[in-house]
Amino acid sequence: MTDPVRIAMWSGPRNISTAMMRSFGGRCDCAVTDEPFYGAFLKQTGQRQPMAEEVIASMDCDWQSVADSMRGPVPGGKAFWYQKHMPHHMVADVSIADFPDHRHAFLIRDPANVVASYTAKRVEVEAEDLGYERQLDYVDQAAQMTGKAPIVLDSADILRDPEAHLRALCAALEIPWDAGMLEWEAGPRNSDGIWATHWYGRVLETTGFGGGERAAPQLDTAAQRVANACRPFYESLSGYKISL
């Protein structure tokens, strides 16, 4: 019997990461997990985020226990396990280095669009909340662990041509293509984190990766400062993007 494949997709917030989780969830051979370290992150940092108390109460908040689970049996005995992770959540001793047998990929998005989307859901935002710097560090670590070029996709590319870029992602991950990744049913999932009611409003209405990336709205001075701080890391990450 072939060993299951565990896929760790590392993304910042407001980065079509939930739509990507829906895409993999559209495969009949794939289990999905939604930000498993979020509760541990909130408990350790005490960061004020929407629904923080409810998130902590709903999740395993022990770092090592969560890591063990992510390396453990695949839910439902599926062939593939897609794990949606946020690099900026990894503030304890657990890091990407604890998952050497996972296949790692990285989802990026232009900081101006991320900041505009994030501030619509949470007023306070700093560059550290968006994870670009740690994501770049994890890209380097993934390349060192595997000896291969890192797998990086830009949200704008996926929105512009979903099938071509999802096919390229599957090829890079060395898993078969499945057309079920292109569309899904609208509505919530049992696999969604409890925070879905606050953060996932728009994606709950979607049935696919419709349309291209919208132009970012004009940012105020504080938001532009955050976007500017993230941009050098985004530009470095862009250099690794999958080319078709």
Q: pLDDT tens-digit profile of 35-65?
A: 999 999 999 999 888 889 999 999 999 999 9
Q: Identify the band that residue 28 occupies on the pLDDT scale cut at 50, 70 and 90.
A: very high
Res. 89: pLDDT tops 60? yes
Task: Give residue 37's Cα distance to chain centre.
Answer: 12
pLDDT at residue 121, as a whole number: 66
Q: What single string gives the DSSP state of each residue in 72-117? A: SPPGGG-SEEEEEE-GGG--SS--GGG-TTSEEEEEE--HHHHHHH
Tens of pLDDT, residues 65-76: 999 999 999 999
Q: Return d(Cα 172, Cα 153) in angstroms, integer.
A: 11
pLDDT at residue 64, as a whole number: 97
More confident site: 174 or 123: 174
pLDDT at residue 3, as a whole number: 87
Res. 1: pLDDT tops 60? no
Tens of pLDDT, residues 193-209: 898 888 787 778 888 98
Long-range contacts of 121-125, Cβ-Cβ distance < 8 Å, separation of 24 or more:
121/14, 121/50, 121/198, 121/199, 122/49, 122/50, 124/48, 125/223, 125/226
**11-20, 77-86, 207-216 — most confident range:** 77-86
Q: Return d(Cα 190, Cα 76) in angstroms, integer.
A: 13
In whole angstroms, how large is the CA radius of gyration of the chain? 17
H or E element: which one contains 169? helix 162-173
- Location of structure tokens 């953060």: 199
Crossing angle of helices 221-238 and 132-146, rounded to 10° = 10
With beta carbons less than 8 A apart as the criterion, state whether 194 and 168 touch.
no
Q: Identify the band that residue 123 occupies on the pLDDT scale cut at 50, 70 and 90.
A: low
Query: Which residues 6+ apart lie within 8 Å of 124 measured at CB?
Result: 48
